[in-house]
Structure 1
Amino acid sequence: MSIAEKNISEAILTVENITLSFGAVRAIRDVSFDIKKSEIRAIIGPNGAGKTSMLNVINGFYHPQEGKISFRGEVRKQMRPHEAAAGGIARTFQNVALFKGMSTLDNIMTGRNLKMNKWNVSLIPSMFYYGPTQKEEIKHRQYVEEIISFLEIEAIRKTPVGRLPYGLQKRVELGRALAAEPDLLLLDEPMAGMNLEEKEDMCRFVLDVNDEFGTTIALIEHDMGVVMDLSDRVVVLDHGEKIADGSPDEVKSDQKVIDAYLGVSN
Structure 2
Amino acid sequence: MKPTPPTKNYYYRLLIAVLGLASLFVSTALFPAAKTTPWVALFIVFFVAFLANFPLDLLSSEITLVQVVTLGGGLLYGPVTVAWAVAFGLLLGNLNRQLHSENRSRKPLLTGAWWLDTGFSVGLNIIPLLIVLPILGWVDGIAADPQAIKQVWTVALVPALAFAGLHGVLFMLGFSLRRRRQTYDILQRDLVSLAIVEFLPLPLVFLSIEVSPFIGARAITAMGGLLAIIAVLMSSMSTARSAHERR
Does TM-score exceed 0.5, indicating one fold?
A: no
The structure that has the greater radius of gyration is 1
TM-score by length of 1: 0.25
Could you say which structure has the higher strand fraction? 1
Taking structure 2 as the reference length, what is the TM-score of the superposition?
Answer: 0.26
Of Structure 1 and Structure 2, the greater helix share is in: 2
Larger relative contact order (C-alpha < 8 A, sep ≥ 6)? 2
